[in-house]
Structure 1
Amino acid sequence: MSESFQTIQSIGSNALLKKITNFDAYKNKNVIRSIGDDAAVIKESNDSLILLTSDTYVEGVDFDPTYTPFHHLGYKIVSAGVSDIYAMNGMPEAVLINLAVPNRMSVQMIEDLYKGIYAAGKNNEVEVVGGDLKANHANLVVSISVYGKAENDSITYRKGANEGDAICVTGDVGGALAGLRILMREKKYWEEHGDESVQPELGDYQFVVKRQLVPEARRDLIEILKKEGIVPTSMIDITKGLVSEISALSDASELGAYIYQAALPIAVETRQVADEMQEDVDRYALFGGEDLEIMFTLSEKKVEEFVKHFSDFVVIGRMVAKEEGMKMQTAEGDVVSFDDLS
Structure 2
Amino acid sequence: MSESFQTIQSIGSKALLEKITNFESYKNENVIQSIGDDAAVIKESDDSLTLLTSDTYVEGVDFDPTYTPFHHLGYKIVSAGVSDIYAMNGNPEAVLINLAVPNRMSVQMIEDIYKGIYAAGKSYSVEVVGGDLKANHANLVVSISVYGRADKDAITYRKGATEGDAICLTGDVGGALAGLRILMREKKFWEEHGDESVQPELGDYQFVVKRQLVPEARKDLIESLKEHDMVPTSMIDVTKGLVSEISALSDASELGAYIYQAALPIAIETRQVADEMQEDVDRYALFGGEDLELMFTLPEKKVEEFVNHFNDFVVIGRMVSREEGMKMQTGEGDVVSFDDLS
Give the alignment's TM-score, normalised by structure 2: 0.99
Give the alignment's TM-score, normalised by structure 1: 0.99
2:285: which partner in 1? 285
1:134: which partner in 2? 134
Question: Is 2:113 the partner of 1:86?
Answer: no
| Corresponding residue SS for 1:55 | strand
Opposite residue 287 of structure 1, the aligned amino acid is: F
How many residues are matched? 342
Residues 29-48 of structure 1 aligned to structure 2 (within 5 Å): 29-48=29-48
Residues 300-315 of structure 1 aligned to structure 2 (within 5 Å): 300-315=300-315
1:240: which partner in 2? 240
**Identity over aligned residues, as a percent?**
90
Opposite residue 54 of structure 1, the aligned amino acid is: S
| Corresponding residue SS for 2:23 | coil
2:262: which partner in 1? 262
Opposite residue 284 of structure 1, the aligned amino acid is: Y
In 1, Cα distance between the equivalents of 2:10 and 2:338? 23
In 2, Cα distance between the equivalents of 1:308 and 1:201? 40
Opposite residue 232 of structure 2, the aligned amino acid is: P
Describe the superposition over 1:154-180 as per-residue Cα deviations: whole angstroms up to 9, x where unpaired: 100000000000000000000000000
| Corresponding residue SS for 1:98 | strand
1:124: which partner in 2? 124
Describe the superposition over 1:207-256 as per-residue Cα deviations: whole angstroms up to 9, x where unpaired: 00000000000000000000100000000000000000000000000000
| Corresponding residue SS for 1:188 | helix
2:68: which partner in 1? 68
2:157: which partner in 1? 157
TM-align CA RMSD: 0.8
Opposite residue 230 of structure 1, the aligned amino acid is: M
| Corresponding residue SS for 2:161 | coil
Question: Is 2:174 the partner of 1:178?
Answer: no
1:221: which partner in 2? 221
| Corresponding residue SS for 2:60 | coil
In 2, Cα distance between the equivalents of 1:207 and 1:276? 15
In 2, Cα distance between the equivalents of 1:224 and 1:3? 55
Dislocated runs of 4+, deviation >4 Å: none
Deviation of 1:4 (Å): 1.1
Return 5+ residue gaps in structure 1 as ranges.
none
In 2, Cα distance between the equivalents of 1:2 and 1:81? 39
Deviation of 1:149 (Å): 0.2
In 1, Cα distance between the equivalents of 2:169 and 2:2? 50
| Corresponding residue SS for 1:138 | coil
Question: Is 2:326 the partner of 1:333?
Answer: no
Deviation of 1:3 (Å): 6.2
Return 5+ residue gaps in structure 2 as ranges.
none
In 2, Cα distance between the equivalents of 1:238 and 1:337? 20
Opposite residue 73 of structure 1, the aligned amino acid is: L
In 2, Cα distance between the equivalents of 1:195 and 1:247? 45
Residues 198-209 of structure 1 aligned to structure 2 (within 5 Å): 198-209=198-209
Describe the superposition over 1:109-154 as per-residue Cα deviations: whole angstroms up to 9, x where unpaired: 0000000000011000000000000100000000000000000001
| Corresponding residue SS for 2:227 | helix
Deviation of 1:59 (Å): 0.2
| Corresponding residue SS for 2:332 | coil
In 2, Cα distance between the equivalents of 1:199 and 1:2? 50
| Corresponding residue SS for 2:6 | coil
| Corresponding residue SS for 1:57 | strand
